[in-house]
């Protein structure tokens, strides 16, 4: 017999359920007076460095219907490619940029919207630069474990072409599911949970 490795098991995930808003965005759910504001509503202020952009989209189920009870969270680098996290050792991120946002999909059309900045490039593990991207996490009723994906930007074709993650997608026609088209300062990113246009989801 050898020594035991002694690792614990991760707590298993469960669905966020239809009332996730009560806990994560109570003011949005109409429960006021407990928290002043809903966390993650605002990522930028007047002093935030970088190009202001809007990222919006829908989360769409296998029947083509937009989810109206999902919560989308995003996490991204600042304009210089630095993360606002204690584990960021390459430098100090822009103190006027949180890097993290949370938005429930709207009750009418199921749209999420983030007012943010375009992230700079951060390095892959081997030092190559990743293309600018936003990390996305989606939870909702019917989703047993949060889904990770990434948003890349259609006007970064050159960087996207050399991105190590995009390069690993074997079915090249699926790369487009991670690339948001641009119109003015708005990027539109629809997330398809299932079917022909299924978004590439990540196990990271």
Partner 1 sequence: MSDLSNKKPETGAFFPRDRAWHAPALTPGYKTSVLRSPQRALLSLDGTISEITGPVFGHSLLGELDNDLIHNFAKDGESAIGERIIVHGRVLDERGKPVPGALLEFWQANAGGRYRHKKETYLAPLDPNFGGCGRTITDEDGAYRFRTVKPGPYPWPNGVNDWRPAHIHFSIFGHGFAQRLITQMYFEGDPMIWKCPIATTIPDRNAIEQLIAPLDWANTIPMDARAYKFDIVLRGRRSTLFENRLEGN
Residues between 64 and 123 with contacts to partner 1, criterion CB under 8 A = 65, 67, 69, 73, 75-77, 83-91, 98-100, 122-123
CA angle 106, 111, 113 (to 5 degrees): 100
One of 1, 3, 9, 47 touching partner 1 (CB under 8 A): 9
Q: Which of 44, 52, 25, 32 is nearest to 139 (CA)?
A: 25
Q: Is 172 helix (H, G, I), strand (E, B) or coil?
A: helix
Residue 165, phi then psi, degrees to nearest 5: -75, -45
Give 8 or 183: the residue with its C-beta nearer to partner 1. 8
Least gap, CB of 15 to partner 1 (angstroms): 6
Structure tokens at 160: 């996207």
Q: Please report whether residue 204 would count as binding partner 1 according to CB under 8 A.
A: yes
Contact set for partner 1, span 144-183 (CB under 8 A):
144-148, 150, 165, 168-169
Q: Please report whether residue 42 would count as binding partner 1 according to CB under 8 A.
A: no
| Choices 27-35, 50-58, 109-117, 181-189 (CB under 8 A): range interacting with partner 1 | 27-35
The total of other beta-carbon atoms located within 10 Å of residue 117's CB is 21
Residue length, the chain? 204
Least gap, CB of 73 to partner 1 (angstroms): 7
Residue 152 region by backbone torsions, left for phi larger than 0, else alpha for psi between -120 and 50, else beta: beta
Give 53 or 101: the residue with its C-beta nearer to partner 1. 101
Structure tokens at 191: 């997330």
């Amino acid at each position: 017999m050898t020594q035991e490795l002694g690792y614990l098991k991760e707590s298993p995930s469960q669905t966020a359920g239809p009332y996730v808003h009560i806990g994560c965005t109570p003011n949005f759910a109409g429960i006021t007076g407990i928290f002043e504001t809903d966390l993650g509503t605002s990522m930028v202020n007047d002093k935030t460095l970088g190009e202001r952009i809007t990222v919006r989209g829908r989360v769409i189920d296998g029947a083509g219907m937009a989810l109206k009870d999902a919560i989308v969270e995003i996490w991204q680098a600042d304009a210089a490619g630095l993360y606002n996290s204690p584990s960021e050792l390459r430098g100090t991120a822009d103190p006027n940029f949180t890097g993290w946002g949370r938005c429930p999909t709207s009750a009418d059309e199921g749209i999420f919207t983030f007012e943010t900045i375009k992230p700079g490039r951060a390095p892959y593990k081997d030092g190559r630069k990743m293309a600018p991207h936003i990390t996305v996490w989606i939870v909702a009723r019917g989703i047993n474990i949060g889904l990770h994906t990434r948003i890349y930007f259609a006007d970064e074709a050159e960087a996207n072409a050399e991105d190590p993650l995009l390069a690993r997608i074997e079915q090249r026609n699926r790369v487009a599911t991670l690339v948001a088209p641009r119109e003015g300062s708005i990027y539109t990113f629809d997330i398809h949970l299932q079917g022909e246009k299924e978004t590439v989801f990540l196990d990271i």
